[in-house]
Structure 1
Amino acid sequence: MKYTQLGRTGLKVSRLVLGTMNFGPQTNESDSHSLMDAALDAGVNFFDTANVYGWGENKGRTEEILGTWFAQGGDRRDKVVLATKVYGNMGPDGEAWPNHDKLSALNIRRAVDASLKRLQTDHIDLYQFHHVDRSTPAEEIWQAIDVLIQQGKILYAGSSNFAGYKIAQANETAKRLGSFGLVSEQCLYNLMARDAEMEVIPAAQEYGLGVIPWSPLQGGLLGGALRKEREGGGGTRSTTGRSAEGLADPKVRAQIQAYEDLLDKHGLEPGEVGLAWLLTRPGITGPISGPRTREQLDSALRAVELELSEEVLASLEEIFPGPGPSPESFAW
């Protein structure tokens, strides 16, 4: 496994992030534990979750699955850089109860204690804001975060789904208050979704944030969707949901066909190339892989070692052109 620093911190994390969103809804507890053991054995030390994972009436279930895995011992918790998130409503009995969501000091305090209990740990390494809260002053958020750091409940703070200017605002406020500020941004970024290159990634680099792409395969579209369609892989992520909607668009379908044809020519696997491409991009700490099976985890692990040729990289750029540098791409 390859490692890198998380943004401007001294924290070393694996270049592949284990996403746990499927643990509970798609993968049962026993299989989830096996996947985490396999990831740790392979050197993956960066695990990402969120308090709302499990969804609906089962919100919090994914954190509980991580907690029972940590409780098995064997230095599991000590070896893992644990990241979770706060923002979504965690009201009692699934109700959208006031002050059980977003980033007020009250909810941050309540949410972190609940996450620690579910995770069966005394601290969270990276506590991430799952979304922008436009109704809570940044000063209040940093006050709450600084208290948690002083209490030893969290070590670092990160953002997710922030615009570039929100990253700047957050860290300028933190600087003024003497706080450490954001150290990471988790954003949608992949070959097909490159808007983050305009403002988000440059802002993250400017302020020393590591960038953690989510949905690196665009909901399965970049994971061999057309091949699986031909093979009759019904019910898989690549043939349902966002992937199926994408393939219904003739322009998207043509892009994916060109992508798969290119990789067939070079004897490469689509899912592995989608992840490996992200690892060539400036400012990227590591993409989040959310496996449901051991086969998917093994594929993601191979991607970390995959070296893409200049020819392949150039061809990928032709198929999926990015927006170009900002502001040059929209100005003289």
Structure 2
Amino acid sequence: MKYTKLGKSGLNVSKLCLGTMNFGVDTEEKDAFRIMDAALDAGINFFDTANIYGWGENAGRTEEIIGRWFAQGGGRREKVVLATKFYGDMSDKNDGPNSGPGLSAYKLRRHLEGSLLRLQTDHIELYQMHHVDRDVSWDELWEGFRIAQYQGKIGYVGSSNFAGRDLVKAQYEAKSKGLLGLVSEQHKYSLLTRQPELELLPAAQEYGIGVIAWSPLDGGILSGNALNPVAGSRRASDQTRVNKHRAQLEAFAGLAKELGESEANISLAWTLAHPAMTAPIIGPRTMEQLEGVLRVVDIVLSEETLKRLDEIFPGPGGEAPKAYAW
């Protein structure tokens, strides 16, 4: 495994981040335990989750599974750089009028305490806002994060699904308060979702914010299984979107065959090639899926390959405003 700094922080994390969204949903607890053990053995020390994973009335289930895995001991908790998120509705009747999605010092405190209990830990290395909430002031948010950091309950603050302007605002307000600010932004980015190249990625790079790519396989469309889905799989029921991109996917499959590499690994290696990238999130449902992507960190795509990928999956043309203006 290879490692890099998490944004401008001094924290070293693996260049692959283990996503846990499937745990307790598509992946049973015993299999989730095996995947986490194997990831740790392979050198992946960066695990990402969220308080709402498990979804709906089962929100929190994924964190509980991770907590029970930590409770087995063996240095599991100490070896993991743990990231979780808050924003969504936890379906807690005690939240009363403060239920529903959003960010606030109230939610930050209550949902952080809930995550710590479920995860069976007293601290979280990276606490992330799962979505932007422009109705809450940065004065309120940064004070809430400062208190949590002072208490030793969180180490660093990250964001997810923020726009470039939100990153700039967050860093400006943090600097005015003498705070480190955001160290990461978790954002959707893939060969089929390249809009972040306009504003988000340049802003993150300029402000020292490490980008963590979620859905780097774009919901599995880039996994290599979309053109020939297994009966009953999610890809088999999503052929409308597959058909929309069929010509691109066929060209991509041809390139992958030439390179002797899987479409999934090429897609992940491509995200890692961006200078703002810290790690793409891999979300294996099985051990086989995990084992198949471990060598991604050693794949170096040539300039010719990157050019051909641009031809198959055209981006916005560069950064704003040069992408669309003189």
What does residue 331 of structure 1 align with?
A: 325
How far did 1:307 drift?
2.3
Amino acid at match of 1:98: P
How far did 1:121 drift?
0.3
Amino acid at match of 2:242: L
Instruction: State yes or no: 1:240 paired with 2:237.
Output: yes
Contact kept in structure 2, 1:225 and 1:239, CA below 8 Å: no
| Partner Cα separation in structure 2 for residue 70 and residue 226 of structure 1 | 35
Instruction: State yes or no: 1:154 paired with 2:148.
Output: no
Instruction: State yes or no: 1:273 paired with 2:262.
Output: no
| Partner Cα separation in structure 1 for residue 262 and residue 298 of structure 2 | 13
What RMSD in Å do the two structures reach over aligned CA positions? 1.4
1:114-263, aligned counterparts within 5 Å?
A: 114-229=114-229, 233-241=230-238, 244-249=239-244, 252-263=245-256
Contact kept in structure 2, 1:138 and 1:173, CA below 8 Å: yes
What TM-score do the two structures reach when normalised by structure 2?
Answer: 0.96
What TM-score do the two structures reach when normalised by structure 1?
Answer: 0.95
Match among 253, 261, 282 for residue 289 of structure 1: 282
How far did 1:96 drift?
8.1
**SS state at 1:64 partner:** helix
How far did 1:311 drift?
2.5
Contact kept in structure 2, 1:159 and 1:182, CA below 8 Å: yes
**SS state at 2:111 partner:** helix
Instruction: State yes or no: 1:305 paired with 2:298.
Output: yes
| Partner Cα separation in structure 2 for residue 52 and residue 308 of structure 1 | 36
**SS state at 2:251 partner:** helix
**SS state at 1:248 partner:** helix
| Partner Cα separation in structure 2 for residue 96 and residue 296 of structure 1 | 38
Amino acid at match of 1:235: G
What does residue 318 of structure 1 align with?
A: 311
What does residue 97 of structure 2 align with?
A: 98
How far did 1:283 drift?
0.8
**SS state at 1:288 partner:** strand
Contact kept in structure 2, 1:219 and 1:238, CA below 8 Å: no
**SS state at 2:173 partner:** helix
Contact kept in structure 2, 1:223 and 1:238, CA below 8 Å: no
Amino acid at match of 1:149: Q
**SS state at 1:83 partner:** strand
Gap regions ≥5 residues in structure 2 = none
Contact kept in structure 2, 1:226 and 1:257, CA below 8 Å: no
User: How many residues of Structure 1 are paired with residues of Structure 2 in the alignment?
Assistant: 324
| Partner Cα separation in structure 1 for residue 144 and residue 173 of structure 2 | 13
Contact kept in structure 2, 1:4 and 1:285, CA below 8 Å: yes
1:76-115, aligned counterparts within 5 Å?
A: 76-92=76-92, 97-100=96-99, 101-115=101-115
**SS state at 1:159 partner:** strand
How far did 1:306 drift?
1.8
| Partner Cα separation in structure 1 for residue 269 and residue 237 of structure 2 | 24
Amino acid at match of 2:309: L
Identity of aligned residues (%): 56
Q: What per-residue deviation string (whole Å, max 9, x for no partner) do you get for residues 245-272 of structure 1?
A: 31132xx111111111111122221111
| Partner Cα separation in structure 1 for residue 276 and residue 146 of structure 2 | 26
Q: What per-residue deviation string (whole Å, max 9, x for no partner) do you get for residues 192-250 of structure 1?
A: 10011111111111111000000000111111134433xxx123333334xx331132x
What does residue 19 of structure 1 align with?
A: 19
Gap regions ≥5 residues in structure 1 = none
Instruction: State yes or no: 1:60 paired with 2:54.
Output: no
**SS state at 1:118 partner:** helix
How far did 1:326 drift?
1.7
Contact kept in structure 1, 2:56 and 2:90, CA below 8 Å: no
Contact kept in structure 1, 2:124 and 2:155, CA below 8 Å: yes
